[in-house]
C-alpha cells in the first residue's frame, strides 16, 4: 500500500477543513491520483467537486455517507478502495471511522481527538486504546494532522531534533488577528469550538495537570503578547489536546501551556450565550420537541466554510520553547503566518480552515508516499519532522525560527 506513485484518498466531511484538503490534494495529482469526498450532505461534496473541476480541470468523486454508521463506511471503503482515509468530519466520528479502517485494512488520519457526544471532554485515551489492533493489522493511524494539534507537534519535534538538547518550557500561541465581518461566528465547527473554549483550563507542570478558570470565568489567565505581524493581542490560557501527547513525548519537559487570542466581543457573546443556557449539550424540551441548545445555536451561526468571503487579516500560530543547547539556556520561536484573503483566493475558504486542511493533506501525503511508515497509532511528534517541515514550506504554510526572550512562567 505504501510507496505508490498514484494513491487513492477518501476524505470524509465537506466543511471548511475538508474543502481546503480536497483542493490541496487536487493540486498534487502525482501523489493523489484518485480522490473521493464523502459526507453527510452530498450537495456540499458536489459543490467542492465542481469548484475543483473549474479551478484545476480535475475530476474527483463524491458520495453520501453517515460516518457514524460503520457498515456503511466499510461498504464505501470497499467500493472505492482508498489507500488512506482522511477524517475531516467531527471528533464524534473518530472511533467509528477507525473501526471501519481496521475492518478494511486502510490507513487512518484525523485532525482532532475523539470526544463523546454527551460529554464535553476530549482526550487521547480512547484512540490510543487502538494501538494493538492497528499494529496487528499492519496499518497506521495518524492522530491530529491539523495545525494545532498537528504542525505545533511537528514544530516541537523539529526543535527537539535540531535546536535543543532538551526542551524545558513549551508555550503554544495561537493568534487569529483576522476579521470576518460577522458580529459573532466561530472559525471552525461552532459546536466543537464552543465545547472546547468553555471548558475549565488545564496546563501541564512537572507531571501534573494544573486547573485554572475557563476563559469566560473570572480569574481566567491571560496576558498581552506581541505577535509578529499581528502586534499586541490578549492571549488566554486554554486546554488544547496536543499538550497531552507532547507532555508524554518530549523528554525533559517541565511545563507546557497553550494560549489563544480572543476579542472582548467574542468573550462577551460567549458569556451571554452560556449564561442563558444556549451552550448546553444536553437535551431540553421545547414545545414537545427534544432540542440540544448548542446544536440549535450551531444552526443559527454562519458556516465556518462560508466565512472566507469577507475575511481579512492574518493568523500567527507557533511554539515558544526554552531549554538547553550545548550547556546554554536558549529560547526559540517557530511560527507560521497565514493570510485569510490569500487562503480564500486559493481555496475559497478562510485561514483557519487553510491552516488545518494543508497539514491534513501533508499528513496524507507522508503516509501515501511511505515517507512516514509504521503500524499502530501515532501522534505527529512520533515521526520524523523533517519531510513534513519541508512540505509545509512547499505547500503554503512557510515557517520561520527566531530567537526570543523567555515567556514569564506564571502560572
Ligand atoms: P464543519 O462543521 O465545517 O465540517 C464538518 C463536516 O463533517 C460537515 O460537512 C458535516 O456534514 C460532516 N459530518 C458531520 N457529521 C457527519 C457524519 N455523521 N457523517 C458524515 N459527515 C459528517 O467543520 P470544520 O471543517 O470546521 O472542522 C472539521 C474538523 O477539523 C473538526 O473535527 C474540527 O475539530 C477539526 N479542526 C482541527 C483543527 C486543528 O488545527 N487540528 C483546527 C480546526 C478544526 P454536514 O455538512 O452535513 O453538517
First to last CA, the chain: 47
Residue 411's pLDDT band (cuts 50, 70, 90): confident
- Return mean pLDDT, the chain: 96
The pLDDT assigned to 3 comes to: 41
Q: What cell was used for 198? A: 468553555
pLDDT at 5 over 90: no
> What is the length of the chain?
411
Band (pLDDT 50/70/90 cuts) for residue 2 is very low
Give DSSP secondary structure letters for 178-191. Answer: -B-S-SS--SS-HH
The Å distance, Cα 17 to ligand 1 centre, comes to 7
d(CA 64, CA 87): 14
Ligand 1 surroundings by CB, under 6 angstroms: 13-18, 39-41, 44, 65-68, 88-91, 93, 111-112, 144, 146-150, 188-189, 192, 304-305, 352, 356
Please confirm whether the linkage preceding 155 is cis (ω < 30° from 0).
no
State residue 92's pLDDT score.
95
pLDDT at position 315 is: 98
So what's the pLDDT on residue 4? 46
* Beta carbons of 258 and 209 less than 8 angstroms apart: no
**Domains present along the chain, CATH in parentheses:** 7-148+352-394 (3.40.50.720), 151-349+399-403 (3.30.360.10)
Q: pLDDT, tens digit, for every residue of 31-68? A: 999 999 999 999 999 999 999 999 999 999 999 999 99
Per-residue buried b or exposed e for 157-173, using 16+ beta carbons within 10 Å of the residue's own CB: bbbbeebbeebbbbbbb
What pLDDT sits at residue 138?
Answer: 98
Kindly give the distance from the C-alpha atom of residue 159 to the centroid of ligand 1, in angstroms, as a whole number. 30
- Tell me which of 12, 89, 149, 381 to substitute to probe ligand 1's pocket, judged by most ligand atoms within 8 Å of the beta carbon: 89
Instruction: Provide φ and ψ at 124, rounded to 5°.
Output: -80, -15
Where b means 16+ CB within 10 Å and e means fewer, 251-283 reads eebbbbbbbbbbeeebbeebbebbeeeebbbee
Ligand 1, atom nearest to 187 Cα: 26
At 250 the three-state DSSP class reads coil
Q: Which residues contact 303 (CB under 8 A, 6 or more apart)?
A: 15, 16
Contact 376, 369 (CB under 8 A): no
Instruction: Judge whether residue 84 has pLDDT over 80.
Output: yes
| Helix axes of 16-26 and 351-368: crossing angle, nearest 10 degrees | 50
HSE, side-chain direction, 13 A CA sphere, residue 103: 15
What is the rounded distance in angstroms from the CA atom of residue 374 to the CA atom of residue 361? 18
* Pairing outcome for strands 399-403 and 7-12: unpaired
Amino acid at each position: 500500500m505504501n510507496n505508490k506513485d498514484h494513491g487513492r484518498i477518501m476524505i470524509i466531511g465537506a466543511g471548511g477543513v475538508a474543502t481546503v484538503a480536497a483542493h490541496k490534494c487536487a493540486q498534487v495529482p502525482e501523489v493523489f491520483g484518485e480522490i473521493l469526498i464523502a459526507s453527510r450532505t452530498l450537495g456540499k461534496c458536489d459543490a467542492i467537486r465542481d469548484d475543483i473541476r473549474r479551478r484545476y480541470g480535475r475530476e474527483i468523486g463524491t458520495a453520501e455517507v453517515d460516518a457514524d454508521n460503520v457498515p456503511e463506511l466499510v461498504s464505501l471503503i470497499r467500493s472505492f478502495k482508498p489507500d488512506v482515509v482522511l477524517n475531516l468530519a467531527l471528533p464524534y466520528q473518530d472511533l467509528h471511522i477507525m473501526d471501519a479502517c481496521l475492518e478494511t485494512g486502510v490507513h487512518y488520519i484525523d485532525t482532532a481527538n475523539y470526544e463523546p457526544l454527551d460529554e464535553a471532554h476530549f482526550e487521547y485515551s480512547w484512540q490510543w486504546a487502538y494501538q494493538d489492533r492497528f499494529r496487528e493489522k499492519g496499518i497506521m493511524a495518524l492522530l491530529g494532522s491539523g495545525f494545532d494539534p498537528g504542525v505545533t507537534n511537528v514544530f516541537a519535534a523539529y526543535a527537539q531534533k535540531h535546536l535543543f538538547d532538551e526542551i524545558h518550557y513549551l508555550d503554544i500561541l495561537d493568534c487569529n488577528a483576522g476579521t470576518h465581518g460577522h458580529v459573532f461566528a466561530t472559525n471552525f465547527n461552532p459546536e466543537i469550538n464552543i465545547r472546547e473554549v468553555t471548558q475549565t483550563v488545564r496546563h501541564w507542570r512537572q507531571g501534573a495537570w494544573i486547573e485554572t478558570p475557563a476563559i469566560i470565568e473570572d480569574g481566567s489567565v491571560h496576558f498581552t503578547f506581541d505577535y509578529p505581524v499581528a502586534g499586541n493581542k490578549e492571549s488566554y490560557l486554554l486546554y488544547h489536546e496536543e499538550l497531552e501527547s507532547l507532555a508524554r513525548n518530549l523528554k525533559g519537559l517541565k511545563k507546557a501551556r497553550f494560549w489563544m487570542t480572543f476579542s472582548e466581543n467574542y468573550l462577551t457573546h460567549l458569556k451571554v450565550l452560556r449564561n442563558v443556557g444556549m451552550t448546553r449539550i444536553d437535551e431540553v424540551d421545547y414545545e414537545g420537541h427534544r432540542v440540544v441548545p448548542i446544536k440549535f445555536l450551531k444552526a443559527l451561526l454562519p458556516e465556518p466554510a462560508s466565512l472566507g468571503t469577507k475575511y481579512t487579516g492574518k493568523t500567527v500560530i507557533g511554539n515558544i520553547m526554552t531549554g538547553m543547547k550545548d550547556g546554554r539556556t536558549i529560547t526559540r520561536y517557530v511560527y507560521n503566518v497565514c493570510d485569510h484573503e490569500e487562503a480564500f483566493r486559493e481555496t475559497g475558504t478562510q485561514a483557519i480552515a487553510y491552516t488545518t486542511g494543508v497539514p491534513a493533506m501533508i499528513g496524507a501525503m507522508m503516509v501515501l508516499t511511505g515517507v512516514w511508515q509504521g503500524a499502530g497509532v501515532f501522534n505527529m511528534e512520533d515521526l520524523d519532522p523533517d519531510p513534513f517541515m519541508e512540505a509545509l514550506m512547499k505547500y503554503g504554510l512557510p515557517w520561520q525560527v527566531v530567537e526570543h526572550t523567555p515567556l514569564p512562567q506564571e502560572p
